[in-house]
Structures are given as C-alpha cells and as structure tokens.
C-alpha cells in the first residue's frame, strides 16, 4: 500500500525542514519526501489501485507526537483507563508514542508487569507504548527495583512518579545504578514533608479558600537536590512537570554548567493559574499544583529559551469516585492526551514558540531524551506522523474524549488547531479530516 | 636486602623490592608446610597477639598456623570477649597488651586506620589484618604470590577486579600492589560500588564484566556483601548475579590461561557460579595455602633473626 500525503507543510526539527512537501509512505515506512512530486512517479501511483492520496494542503505534517508522561492505569485501575482506551486517546490527540508511568497495581517494578503492558499495547496497536519502570520496589522508596531486568523487558526509563524519592541516598544510588543500563531517571520533584497536607498552591487564593497551601519550595528544593545529584553521579535526570519559576531558574543554570538534566512541563502549567481552583473545582487539583501568573510566565520563558525541553501531558485519568469529592479528599491529576496539542498550539499563536520549536518539544526532543528511533521524518524511518490543522476552531468537549475519564478543567474551552490524522507505522490510527 | 620495617600496615608503604623480598621469603616458607613435621624453631620465645575486632575465618587461622609453624607463642583476643565490651578504648587496650611485651600485634578492625593508631603507640610490630575499607596488605601479598607463582611474573599483566570496589580493602590493596609491580588493573561493578576517584589509585573503570575480563590474565571476584542491601547499592542477589556476576562468557573473553581468584568467603551463585569457583582456572584454594606462607614470611622478616622490631 502506497500512500502520499500531498502538499502539507512538513515541519521536522530533526532535519531542520520547514517546507511544503509530499510525503510518500509505503509498507509502513516513509520512502520519499519531495517537493513537486506530481512531476514524476505520479502516473504509476495513480495506476496502482491500492495507492491513496491524502490532501494535506494548509496543514502541518510533523513527526508523530510523543508524550513521555502518561498514566494508563492498567493493570489495576481499568475503570479509569485501559491501555486500549489510553492509546486511543493518544491517537486522537496526535500522539504516536507515549510513555506510561509505573504507578499501576501491581506497580511496574518488574519484568512481568512491563511484559504485560507491552503485550496489551501491541494488541491495541493505536500508539507505541514505552513503559517507565519504578525506581524503588513497590514505589516505597526503600530499595532499588531491578533496573537491569526492567530494561531488558523494555522499560525506557525509571521513575517513582508521584511517590517522590525522599531518601537522598536512594536517589543518588538510583542515578548511579541507572547509568549502567543507560536508563533515564525521571523525577517528580516534591518534598513531601514540606508539602504536608497542602492541596493547592500556597498563596492568597489558598488563604481565601481556606485550603492548605503547597509552597513553591516544595518543588524547587527537590529540583535543586536532584540536579546536584545528577551532576555528582553523572546519571541522566529528567525533571517531570516543572511548575515553578525557581525550578526553571535552577534547571537553566544547571544546563549552562553541563549537568545531564532535561525537563518537561505540562500544558496546564502554562495555560492555567491557581485561580482555576476558585470554585473548589477538583479538576484543577493536581500535583504539582497550579501556580501563579509569575510562574506561568517563567514556564513560558523556559519553553522559549530551551530550558524546558519537552511538553508532556501528565495524562492522569480519574473517575468521579476520585474527583467528585471534597477538595481535600479528591485525587490529583487531569487527563491531557486529547487537549495537549490544542493547548500547546496556543503557544505558537501567542508568539512564545515557533512551529518548529513546538514540534521539537512534542516529538523530536522527547525522542532524543528517551533514545528512541522516532521524532524524525526521513526516508527509511517508520511512518509515524501526525497531520495537524493549526487553524481549525475547536471547542473542548470532555464527552467526546476517547479516554475513559473526563477529568479535565478545559471543558468548553474554545481553542484553535488540533490533530486531524495520526499514523503509526503507516497505519492510520486516527482520522478526522 | 635488609627488611627494616617495624610494622606492616599497607601495601602502599612497601617498595617493589620489599614486596619481592616478602614473596621470595614466602616461596621458601611454603616448603615448610609440606613437610611431615611442619614446624621450625625460628620464632621460639616470641609472642604474637591476635586482636580481631571483626569476624574472620581464613585470615585468623592462617596467621595462627603461620605463627605455630614458626614456633611462636600466640594469644588471641576478640572484641566480644575483650574489655572493649566493658568500655575500654582501643588505645588503652593496646597499651595494656603492650605492657605484657608481645613481639607482634596482629589486628583486624572495622575502622579504617585503627592499626595505624595502635602502631604509633606500641613498641611491638603491628600487622594490619584488615582495617575497614582501607587496606588488607597480607591478602594483597598472598594474591601477588599466587599470581607470580602461576604466571612467573608480576609485570605486564592485566588484572581485573570485579565487584564492590567501594567497600573493599582487598581491592584497594591489590590495585596498589599490582600496579606497583608493573601490571595494569581494571575494575568493574555496579556504578554504585565504584568509589569516586578510584582512577587516581591506578585503576581503570569499566562498567561491564565482559569489558573487564577482556584479555585479562587474572579475574579477581570480590564477595558481594549482602548486608549492603540496605545501602541501596544493588536491588537483589538475582539481579547482581545476572548483570555483575562472573559468567562463562566473561571468562571466555579473558586469556585462555587466566586465573580466577576470590579472597573468600564466596557467595556461590551470586558473584561467582560454583562451576567456575571449582573449575580448572580457579586458584582460590592456592590463595589460601599461600596465605600461610606469606604470613610466615612477614612474621619472620619482622621479628625473626637476631634483631627485634623495636630496635628499628
């Protein structure tokens, strides 16, 4: 089957391409990228009854988007999400590759869970799934998980996710031990003692609402610790969902020094502030919490100047059982796979990122950080790509989500731009053209 | 040459010539252990005190047998049966022992530097039988004796030391000893067990055991200390064996006549599979045999003959 994506604006940071080109896909691979393809070879394609042409004029054709921070909830919490529904949501959101965090039940701290996730993902086949293994057995922060075995089974990185490694000795050893297996260590930076029973950003709104606050130092303090440990051990550190001004500053300064650190933020940290909590909306409850305008500005600046390498959704499906509760009792997190791209496209509208940088943060950079053969459009590579309509108006409707959960604070938002076609290994896994 | 040292505290302080002399002496001492009557009168009338603050099977028995084969009188004190449990400081205990005029005090202690502290305060010769993570000179000497015996030389060899380098006094003493004698040392193990700056002691660091073993003349495996699990150094015995233990594949990368060594005690199935520990290339029990000879040589060189250690 030969397929030509015709006339789209091909944006591929890996090859520094931003030009109108035709992309020819055959047998799951990109075989050609050519301007003015009509002139040659077209005849034979038209004669081939199996050939197909997709008109992508006015649209962007980009390497398949990669979300390196999601939660697929399977095994253990299938009522919130399954690997099938999660990868469907990924495809709908324009993502061809996602990483899933290990906080399943049982925890992904061993080969059998990693095997299971990969098997289910293969069966679903809507997106490529790279499991992230646990840093500590059972996410308990007491002993190292078997990184070697996790890596052999297919884990791409290690993280204790929302159970931050409070024991600095364990974190040091994790960074050291991971080096032997080339594993990235992803850190959810949160000082649990300092966070205490806080449920939202500490500040005037928390005070007014009578909710316990979480100061910025909860995140920035651990960012600083982990940067120092990465610098000392040489282990590769990736800071998850950066939300504060201080964190951005520390990461910027560390990168200048050559520390092996990369960072991501999530769309909600540049789209919302703590004011979203004003109605005690539990869909605005997350960890780290939504911060202030000043922090949002710092996140945008971090994205702009390259301090923040990646936009990842931190897709965290929860059902009404976890969310329709008192604010104090509600679970942290929001779904993000199906809103991430539209929210991020706003950065381009607002002049914070150019299209090339946006694609880099949602595809090229995560591929590079994870060390996976993705995030590039060139002949010979697997045809993992996303077609984006950057102008089409879109009203977020949580009921249209492919995800099993709809815990999103963006319901009803009017945005511009979305993915209209998602292709994994030459197969169209989502199409709304 | 004359051997004029009062103490044996580390390999670092010994010159290449002194190491050669010790090994030459040990070679001749070895013969005594093969006699029908395994005893010579060389150290008759000399008193040796063993002061062991840490568990030991091999080293203690080896010293005891070495002293007895040279006809010395020996007294053994362990931490649990000494006045240390009553709160006496190490210095006070040493001074009290000194007052009984021993010729040699052999000490093993969990604190690095403890033998040095005692050596400064007593007239007797002090032999370090292992201090903390610092040094184990008699082990390194018996290892060098074994390698020299099998290879005919100590120079130009490639020695791979594999395991918990960070916590190993055996590794430190062997790195210093073998490089001093003209061989190269490569170390390997989980990155959590490779100490900062070990390169400055002359060792090259590689991460995989295959790389360490490549073209090696000697593969020396270190005991994995299970009590270290609490320090987050490795996840499990199983994963250690899978990724850091010795394998037939690694052995096949080494020279055909490579020696397999281990200071003991062995964790069979963790750092070394039983069939390699017991296989034809293994010299683990030769190491133990040579331990007696090396310790006889050291006792003889320190207090044998007419001179007394305190004269120096």
For residue A55, the 8-state DSSP code is E
Confidence check: pLDDT of B281 > 50: yes
Q: What is the pLDDT of residue B249?
A: 96
Instruction: Considering only the beta carbons, identify the residue of B207, B234, B242 that sits closest to A144.
Output: B234
CA distance A352 to A345: 10
Does residue A353 fall inside a structural domain?
yes
CA distance A270 to chain B (A): 37
For residue A107, the 8-state DSSP code is -
Q: What is the pLDDT of residue A243?
A: 98
CB contact under 8 A, B235 and A233: no
Contact B309, B6 (CB under 8 A): yes
Reported as a single tens digit per residue, the pLDDT across B9-53 is 999 999 999 999 999 999 999 999 999 999 999 999 999 999 998
If 0-12 CB within 10 Å is exposed, 13-18 middle and 19+ buried, where does residue A240 land? Answer: buried
Confidence check: pLDDT of B309 > 50: no
Domain boundary among A338, A370, A402: A370
Q: What is the pLDDT of residue A41?
A: 46
**Chain B residues touching A145 at Cβ < 8 A:** 235
A306: domain CATH number? 3.20.20.140
Q: Are residues A237 and A355 in the same domain?
A: yes
Q: Does B310 touch chain A (CB under 8 A)?
A: no
**Any idea which residue has 């044996």 for tokens?**
B8
Q: Are residues A247 and A328 in the same domain?
A: yes
Give chain B's mean pLDDT: 93
Q: Are residues A314 and A420 in the same domain?
A: no
Alpha-helical (H) ranges within chain B are: 16-30, 58-69, 90-98, 114-119, 137-151, 169-180, 209-213, 237-243, 248-253, 274-277, 284-303
Q: Are residues A77 and A192 in the same domain?
A: yes
A44: domain CATH number? 2.30.40.10
Q: Are residues A261 and A404 in the same domain?
A: no
CA distance A173 to B192: 6
User: How many angstroms separate the Cα of B192 from the Cα of each of A364, B267, B274?
Assistant: 32, 19, 25
Q: What is the pLDDT of residue B226?
A: 75
Q: Phi and psi for A38 in degrees, rounded to 5?
A: -50, -35
Q: List strand residue ranges (DSSP E) for A13-121, in order.
A: 17-26, 29-34, 52-55, 60-63, 65-70, 95-100
Does residue A122 fall inside a structural domain?
yes
Contact B298, B22 (CB under 8 A): yes
CB contact under 8 A, A169 and B232: yes
Q: Are residues A417 and A302 in the same domain?
A: no
Domain boundary among A334, A350, A370: A370
Q: Are residues A236 and A203 in the same domain?
A: yes
Residue by residue, pLDDT tens for chain A (433 residues) are: 899 999 999 999 999 999 999 999 999 999 999 985 444 444 444 555 568 999 999 999 999 999 999 999 999 999 999 999 999 999 999 999 999 999 999 999 999 999 999 999 999 989 999 999 999 999 999 999 999 999 999 999 999 999 999 999 999 999 999 999 999 999 999 999 999 999 999 999 999 999 999 999 999 999 999 999 999 999 999 999 999 999 999 999 999 999 999 999 999 999 999 999 999 999 999 999 999 999 999 999 999 999 999 999 999 999 999 999 999 999 999 999 999 999 999 999 999 999 999 999 999 999 999 999 999 999 999 999 999 999 999 999 999 999 999 999 999 999 999 999 999 999 999 999 8
- 3-state class of A278 per DSSP? coil
Q: Are residues A20 and A81 in the same domain?
A: no
A185: CB partners within 8 A, 6+ apart: A135, A157, A158, A159, A174, A175, A178, A230, A235, A236, A237, A238
ipTM over 0.90: no
Contact A372, A98 (CB under 8 A): no
**Chain B residues touching A137 at Cβ < 8 A:** 235
CB contact under 8 A, A179 and B191: yes
- 3-state class of A5 per DSSP? strand
Strands A414-424, A427-431: pairing kind: antiparallel
B169-172 LR contacts (CB < 8 Å, sep 24+)? B169/B112, B169/B130, B169/B131, B169/B132, B169/B133, B169/B134, B169/B135, B169/B136, B169/B139, B170/B136, B170/B139, B170/B140, B170/B143, B170/B222, B170/B263, B171/B222, B172/B133, B172/B134, B172/B135, B172/B136, B172/B201
Q: Does A143 touch chain B (CB under 8 A)?
A: yes
Confidence check: pLDDT of B312 > 90: no
Domain boundary among A321, A345, A370: A370
CA distance A287 to A76: 21
Does residue A183 fall inside a structural domain?
yes
Q: What is the DSSP string of A153-201?
A: HT--EEE-TTS----HHHHHHHHHHHHHHT-EEEE----HHHHTT--EE
B60: CB partners within 8 A, 6+ apart: B50, B52, B76, B108, B129
CA distance B218 to B246: 13
Give the residue numbers spanning the domain of A71: 65-370
Q: Are residues A267 and A302 in the same domain?
A: yes
Q: Are residues A69 and A56 in the same domain?
A: no
Element (H, E) at A214: strand A213-214
CA distance B290 to B145: 7
Q: Phi and psi for A18 in degrees, rounded to 5?
A: -145, 90
| Residue A100 structure tokens | 């899933």
Q: What is the pLDDT of residue A48?
A: 59
Contact B247, B207 (CB under 8 A): no
Q: Does B211 touch chain A (CB under 8 A)?
A: no
| Residue A178 structure tokens | 């991971």
Contact A218, A195 (CB under 8 A): yes
Q: In the beta sheet, which residues pair with residue A325?
A: none
**What confidence tier does B78 reach under pLDDT thresholds 50, 70, 90?**
confident
B 159-198: CB under 8 A from A: 190-192
Does residue A375 fall inside a structural domain?
no
Q: What is the pLDDT of residue B275?
A: 96
**Chain B residues touching A170 at Cβ < 8 A:** 232
Q: What is the pLDDT of residue A35?
A: 84
Residues of B classed as catalytic: 58-59, 86, 108, 136
Number of folded domains that form chain A:
2
Contact A56, A7 (CB under 8 A): yes
Contact A127, A157 (CB under 8 A): no
Interface test with A, best of B187, B192, B209, B229 (most A CBs within 10 A): B192
CA distance A209 to A227: 34
Q: Are residues A100 and A238 in the same domain?
A: yes
**Chain B residues touching A144 at Cβ < 8 A:** 232, 234-235
Q: Are residues A281 and A388 in the same domain?
A: no
CA distance A375 to chain B (A): 30
Q: Does A180 touch chain B (CB under 8 A)?
A: yes
A328-333 LR contacts (CB < 8 Å, sep 24+)? A328/A197, A328/A199, A328/A211, A328/A212, A330/A282, A330/A285, A331/A282, A331/A285, A332/A162, A332/A285, A332/A286, A332/A287, A333/A71, A333/A285, A333/A286, A333/A287, A333/A407
Reported as a single tens digit per residue, the pLDDT across B149-187 is 999 999 999 999 999 999 999 999 999 999 999 999 999
| Residue A207 structure tokens | 């005070």
B124: CB partners within 8 A, 6+ apart: B49, B98, B101, B102, B103, B104, B105, B309, B310
Confidence check: pLDDT of B114 > 90: yes
Residues of A classed as catalytic: 314
B227: CB partners within 8 A, 6+ apart: none
Q: What is the pLDDT of residue B155?
A: 97
Q: What is the pLDDT of residue B47?
A: 97
Q: What is the pLDDT of residue A44?
A: 46
Does residue A14 fall inside a structural domain?
yes
């Amino acid at each position: 089957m030969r397929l030509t994506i015709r006339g789209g604006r091909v944006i591929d940071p890996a090859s520094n391409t931003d030009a109108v080109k035709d992309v020819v896909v055959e047998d799951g691979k990109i075989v050609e990228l050519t301007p003015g393809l009509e002139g040659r070879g077209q005849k034979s394609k038209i004669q081939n009854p199996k050939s197909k042409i997709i008109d992508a004029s006015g649209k962007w054709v980009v390497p398949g988007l990669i979300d390196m921070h999601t939660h697929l909830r399977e095994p253990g919490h299938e009522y919130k999400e399954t690997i099938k529904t999660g990868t469907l949501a990924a495809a709908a959101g324009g993502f061809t590759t996602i990483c899933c965090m290990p906080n399943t039940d049982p925890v992904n701290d061993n080969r059998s869970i990693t095997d299971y996730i990969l098997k289910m993902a293969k069966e679903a086949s809507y997106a490529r799934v790279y499991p992230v293994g646990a840093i500590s057995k059972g996410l308990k922060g007491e002993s190292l998980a078997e990184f070697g075995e996790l890596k052999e089974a297919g884990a791409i990185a290690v993280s204790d996710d929302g159970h931050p490694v409070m024991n600095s000795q364990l974190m040091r050893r994790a960074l050291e031990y991971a080096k032997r297996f080339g594993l990235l260590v992803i850190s959810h930076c949160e000082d649990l003692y300092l966070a205490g029973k806080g449920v939202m950003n500490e500040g005037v709104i928390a005070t007014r609402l009578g909710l316990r606050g979480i100061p910025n130092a909860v995140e920035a303090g651990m960012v600083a610790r982990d940067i120092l440990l990465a610098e000392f051990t040489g282990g590769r550190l990736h800071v998850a969902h950066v939300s504060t001004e201080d964190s951005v500053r520390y990461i910027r300064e560390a990168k200048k020094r050559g520390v092996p650190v990369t960072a991501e933020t999530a769309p909600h940290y540049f789209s919302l502030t703590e004011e979203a909590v004003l109605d005690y909306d539990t869909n605005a409850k997350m960890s780290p919490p939504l911060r202030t305008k000043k922090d949002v500005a710092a996140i945008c600046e971090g994205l702009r100047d390259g301090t923040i390498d990646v936009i990842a959704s931190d897709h965290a499906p929860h059902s009404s059982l976890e969310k329709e509760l008192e604010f104090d009792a509600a679970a942290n997190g929001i779904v993000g796979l199906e809103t991430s791209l539209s929210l991020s496209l706003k950065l381009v509208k607002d002049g914070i990122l150019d299209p090339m940088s946006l694609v880099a943060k949602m595809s090229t950079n995560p591929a590079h950080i994870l060390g996976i053969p993705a995030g590039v459009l060139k002949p010979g590579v697997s045809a993992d790509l996303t077609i984006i309509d950057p102008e089409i108006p879109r009203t977020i409707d949580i009921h249209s989500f492919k995800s099993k959960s709809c815990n999103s604070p963006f319901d009803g938002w009017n945005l511009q731009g979305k993915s209209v076609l998602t292709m994994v290994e030459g197969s169209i896994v989502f199409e709304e053209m | 040459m004359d051997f004029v040292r009062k103490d044996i505290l580390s390999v670092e302080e010994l010159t290449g010539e002194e190491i050669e002399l010790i090994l030459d002496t040990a070679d001749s001492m070895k013969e005594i252990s093969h006699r029908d009557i395994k005893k010579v009168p060389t150290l008759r009338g000399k008193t040796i005190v063993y002061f062991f603050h840490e568990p030991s099977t091999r080293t203690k028995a080896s010293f005891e047998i070495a002293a007895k084969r040279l006809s010395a009188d020996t007294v053994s004190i362990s931490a649990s049966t000494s006045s240390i449990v009553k709160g006496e400081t190490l210095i006070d205990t040493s001074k009290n022992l000194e007052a009984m005029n021993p010729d040699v005090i052999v000490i093993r202690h969990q604190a690095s530097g403890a033998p040095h502290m005692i050596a400064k305060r007593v007239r007797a010769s002090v032999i370090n039988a292992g201090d903390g993570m610092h040094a184990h000179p008699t082990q390194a000497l018996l290892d060098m004796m074994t390698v020299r015996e099998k290879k005919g030389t100590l120079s130009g060899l490639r020695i791979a030391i594999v395991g918990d380098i960070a916590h190993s006094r055996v590794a430190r003493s062997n790195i210093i000893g073998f490089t001093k004698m003209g061989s190269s040392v490569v170390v390997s193990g989980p990155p959590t067990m490779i100490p900062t700056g070990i390169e400055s002691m002359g060792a090259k660091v590689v991460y995989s055991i295959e790389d360490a073993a490549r073209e090696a003349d000697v593969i020396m495996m270190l005991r994995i200390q299970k009590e270290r699990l609490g320090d987050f150094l490795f996840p499990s015995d199983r994963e250690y064996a899978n990724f850091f233990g010795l394998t037939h594949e690694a052995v096949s990368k080494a020279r055909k006549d490579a020696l397999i060594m281990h200071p003991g005690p062995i964790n069979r199935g963790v750092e070394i599979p039983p069939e390699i520990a017991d296989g034809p290339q293994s010299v683990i029990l030769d190491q133990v045999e040579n331990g007696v000879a090396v310790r006889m040589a050291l006792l003889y060189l320190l207090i044998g003959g007419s001179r007394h250690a305190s004269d120096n």
